[in-house]
Structure 1
Amino acid sequence: MSKDFPLPDDLPVPEDDGAADHLQGMTMPDVSLPATDDTAVELRELPPRTVIYVYPLTGRPDEDVIPEGWEDVPGARGCTPESRGFRSHYDELRDAGVGDVFGLSTQSTAYQREARDRLHLPFELLSDAERELADALDLPTFTIEGEEYLKRLTMVVTDGRIEHVFYPIFPPDEHADEVLEWVSNASDS
């Protein structure tokens, strides 16, 4: 559990609204997104079995950027604990055959770079600030205080196609365990 942004016990649980049902089997679009290491990541050219976890918004301990009512939106809270989970399981995911891991939100690369550095993430975060990927894949969203955010989901991409989708995700701080289990079982078959 994170000392900054701990998850409350009474978070609302997201329900599967079917908004991600269309994703599995889709070809990744010809989109290039900026990463926190100042490279551009071509999504059609990802290493085999890449994990991309999509999250709505990371907060900062020194800034109040979380919109009013955030904790009332099922699935909104938990981006920092989710990232820490992927950090903790990064080596195991790689050992299980994952070519790379990326986090993705619509926040700017500069904002995400601070999160990557503060959280000591061994992987990069991608910025879809222009919503190129979100629009191309019709990713599920929610709106709060007039702003649109991506719903939390994870895609496993293999050979340019979305092999598997995790949606909805709850609790977010345990999600990396779920992905590791799926990847390990998929590698065994």
Structure 2
Amino acid sequence: MTAIKIGDKIPGFSLPDQNGMVADMKNFIGESNIVLFFYPKDDTPGCTREACSFRDHYEDFADAGAEVFGISGQSVGSHKNFAEKHNLNYKLLSDEGNKVRKLFGVPSSFFGLMPGRVTYVADRTGKVVYIFNSQTNVKEHVDKALQVLGNVK
């Protein structure tokens, strides 16, 4: 498993969102900056704080010309319940089997027992310009991504 690094292009992938609609990354490259945040599990305390922070700053991301996507291994139905419960206003992508997580090389934490929490910011060309990896500093995923987007053309 080779991890995606700054300067790499986002790999091509498509996953269903919380409404069962397929989101294909190739449709967003060239159109907007992209923020992908991989999180461990729907409706856990840290993941809920992170997801709601992305929700609360959604307009800031839109103003920066960015599309936001949350990605984890739960089902479309789980994502739908999570999104509705917390009024999430962006796409949650269902990566059952963690194929995309593996494609990005997102590390596990806590001795490999928990899927990692990593945020990737890519510019309009699909080039990764920033990566933030922290299991516990959930608010920083949003803060750092917005800070970086302020410097992306």
What TM bracket, shorter-length normalisation? 0.7 to 0.9
- Extract unaligned runs of 5+ from structure 2: none
Task: Count residues in correspondence.
Answer: 150
- Determine the C-alpha separation between the residues in 1 that align with 2:135 and 2:62: 21
Which 4+ stretches in 1 moved above 3 angstroms? Answer: 19-22
Q: Which moved more, 1:19-28 or 1:177-186?
A: 19-28
Q: Deviation digits for residues 134-168 of structure 1, max 9, x if unmatched?
A: 22222211367xx8542111011232332221122
Output the amino acid matched with 1:185.
Answer: N
- Determine the C-alpha separation between the residues in 2 that align with 1:163 and 1:20: 17
Q: Does 1:81 align with 2:46?
A: no
CA contact (8 A) 2:3 2:105 kept: no
**TM, length-normalised to structure 2:** 0.84
Structure of higher CA gyration radius: 1
CA contact (8 A) 2:39 2:118 kept: yes
CA contact (8 A) 1:20 1:139 kept: no
- Determine the C-alpha separation between the residues in 1 that align with 2:81 and 2:2: 29
Q: Does 1:51 align with 2:35?
A: yes
- Determine the C-alpha separation between the residues in 1 that align with 2:11 and 2:48: 27
Output the amino acid matched with 1:175.
Answer: H
Secondary structure, aligned partner of 2:69: strand
- Determine the C-alpha separation between the residues in 1 that align with 2:103 and 2:11: 7
Q: Deviation digits for residues 1-39 of structure 1, max 9, x if unmatched?
A: xxxxxxxxxxxxxxxxxx997422222223211111221
- Determine the C-alpha separation between the residues in 1 that align with 2:144 and 2:2: 18
CA RMSD in angstroms comes to 2.5
**TM, length-normalised to structure 1:** 0.69
Secondary structure, aligned partner of 1:52: strand
Q: Deviation digits for residues 29-71 of structure 1, max 9, x if unmatched?
A: 23211111221111233242111111111226xxxxxxxxxxx
- Determine the C-alpha separation between the residues in 2 that align with 1:138 and 1:178: 20
